Amino acid sequence: MAQLRQDYDEFVALDTAVLVLGPENATAFADYFTKHNLPYAGLPDPKHSILKLYGQQIKLFKFGRMPAQVLVDKAGVARYIHYGHSMRDIPPNQEMLQLIDSLEK
């Protein structure tokens, strides 16, 4: 989540909303966002309702939910999905920004 903050202004410049979903409850999620002063929106999903819709995987031997990045266009169509195989398997911001820019053209 923290890496998104580094290039947040670039996402905004591409008219892109960043929304982070997490399995924590609302209190824990709000505390984390406040503590780390995150500029984008966060949505707690403790029942995994939304996360399941996008196919996010759970691997108990790798600390729970694996990261997943979904790029949804303005029409609500998922245009890109990356399912991480570990907690470090997250596309770099620049890769996501290039993808967003290519969708705009």
For 55, the token pair is 């196919």
Asked whether the beta carbons of 19 and 42 are under 8 A apart, the reply is: yes
State which residues form the domain around 22.
2-104
pLDDT reported for residue 14: 92
pLDDT reported for residue 39: 93
Q: Give the domain CATH number at 22.
A: 3.40.30.10
pLDDT reported for residue 13: 94
The count of domains in the chain is 1
How far apart, in whole angstroms, are the C-alpha atoms of residue 85 and residue 62?
9
pTM of the model: 0.80
Furthest C-alpha separation in the chain = 41
| Reduced 3-state DSSP string for 55-82 | CCCEEHHHCEECCEEEEECCCCCEEEEE
Per-residue pLDDT of the chain (105 residues; tens, 9 = 90+): 678 889 999 999 999 999 988 888 999 989 999 999 999 998 998 888 887 787 776 655 555 667 788 888 888 888 898 888 877 888 999 999 999 999 877
